[in-house]
Amino acid sequence: MSLFSTLGGSGGVRAGRTSMPLFDGTLIIVCLSLVLFGLLMVYSASIALADGPRYEAYGRFYFVIRHGVFIAIGLVSALIALTVPMKVWDQLAMPLFLSCVLLLVIVLIPGIGREVNGARRWLPLGIVNFQPSELMKVAVVLFAADYTVRKQQHMHSFFRGFVPMCCALAVVGILLLLEPDLGAFMVIVAIAIGLLFIGGINGKLFTLLLGSLVSSFLALIWLSPWRRERLFVYLDPWNPENAYGSAYQLSHSLIALGRGEWFGVGLGSSVEKLHYLPEAHTDFIVAVIGEELGFVGVATLIFAFAFVVWRGFEIGRQAIAMDRTFSGLVAQGVALWFGVQAFINIGVCIGLLPTKGLTLPMVSYGGTGIVMNIVAIALMLRVDHETRNLMRGKRT
C-alpha cells in the first residue's frame, strides 16, 4: 500500500460513492493545535532558565529548539505509523511489549542507564536520552488490546484471563518502581485495566484486580517516607514548613494560577517561571498557562483534551461495531492514556492530587514523551482511517 493511498489517495474507491473524508480533520486540527500550543508555552516557560546557574550554558532557546526537533521526529514517526495496517500492529504487540520489558531491565544496569535526581529512567543515545517507560505506554496499549481479543473467551476465568495480565503488570511495575517511576506505572495500569474492563472481564475479577492495585499503591505510599510526606503536605500546602519544603512546587503552582485570575497576566508575563516554580516547562506547565492565560486558557486546554478523549472512544466504538475489536481497543486505549495522564497532571497543578512527576501529553517539554504522544495519535487516526475505508466499501 502506497503512502499516498494511505494518507488520502482515492485509488480503488468509485467516484461519487461517498463524500466521507479519509481522516477526522477536526481531531487532526485539535491535536496539532495542542502540539503547537505546547511548543509556544515551552518557549515561554523555559526562556528565563538560562539566567540561572544551572542552565546558563544552554542559552534561551535551548529547550524550545530541542522540543521543536522532537516534534518533527514525532511527526515523521507518525507518518510512518500511519502507513502500517492495524493487523500488522496486532502482530507486533507481543514482540514490542517484550522488547520494552527488556529495555526497562537495561535502563537499570549501572553504567548504562542515566541517572538524574536519583532516578534511573533514561538510556543515553548520543545527544539525546531515550526513556523506555514512554515507549512502554504505546506497547501496553497494543499488548492489552491484543490480550483482550485473544483471551475473550477466558475473560471470566481467574487463571486464564486474570492471572496472566496480573503477572505482566507485576513485572512492569517492579521494573518501573526500581527506577523509580510511579507515575508511569499508574498510567500503564490505568490503560491495562481500562481495556480489560471494556473488553468484558468478569466483574468480580475486575473488582479484585482494582482492589489489589489500589491496596498496592497505598502500601507503596505508606512504606515510602518521601511519598507519604508528599501525600500529607499537599493537604496543607500553605503551612510554612510545607511551603518551603515538600509543598514548594505546589504552593508556587497555586500562586501562579491565582495570579492568572480569569484572563491571565499576558503571554510571556509569568513571574513564577522566573526560577520560583521548578519544572515550569515540564510537569508544571499548566501553572504557567494558568498564570499567563488565566482560567479561560486552562479551561480551553481541558476542553481540547476532553474532545481528544471523546473522539478516541468514539473511533474505538465505531471500529468495534464493525468487528475490528483490536483496532477499537487500541483507539480507546490511547484515549484512556491521554485522559488519565492529563487528569493527573492538571490535578497535581491545581492541588487536587498529590505531587507526581507526570508531563502533560502533547504540551509539556519532553523528548521520548512527545514523540510517543504523536505516534499514539497516529495509531488512533489509523484506526479511524481503516474504519472509514470499510464504510466506503474498501478493504485495507
Looking at residue 266, what DSSP letter applies? -
Q: Given pLDDT bands bounded at 50, 70 and 90, which one contains residue 188? A: very high
**Which position has the higher pLDDT, 92 or 177?**
92
pLDDT tens, position by position, 60-83 = 899 999 999 999 999 999 999 999
Check residue 200 and give its pLDDT.
79
Cα separation, 198 vs 195, in Å, equals: 5
Compute how many other C-beta atoms are within 10 angstroms of the C-beta atom of residue 171.
13
Q: Within its chain, how far is the Cα of 17 from the centroid?
A: 38
CB environment 228-247: b (16+ within 10 A), e (fewer): ebbbebbeebeeeebbeebb
Check residue 396 and give its pLDDT.
59
Check residue 227 and give its pLDDT.
67
**Which position has the higher pLDDT, 280 or 9?**
280
The three three-digit cell numbers of residue 335, written as one number: 484515549
Has residue 206 got a pLDDT over 80? no
Q: Average per-residue pLDDT in the chain?
A: 87
The three three-digit cell numbers of residue 332, written as one number: 480507546
Q: Given pLDDT bands bounded at 50, 70 and 90, which one contains residue 211? A: confident
Q: Within its chain, how far is the Cα of 55 from the centroid?
A: 27
Cα separation, 346 vs 129, in Å, equals: 25
Check residue 18 and give its pLDDT.
54
Q: Given pLDDT bands bounded at 50, 70 and 90, which one contains residue 226? A: low
Check residue 3 and give its pLDDT.
42
pLDDT tens, position by position, 82-137 = 999 999 999 999 999 999 999 999 999 988 888 776 678 889 887 788 999 999 99
Domain boundaries, the chain: 22-391
Give the residue-averaged pLDDT of 280-302: 95
**pTM of this prediction?**
0.89
Q: Given pLDDT bands bounded at 50, 70 and 90, which one contains residue 380? A: very high
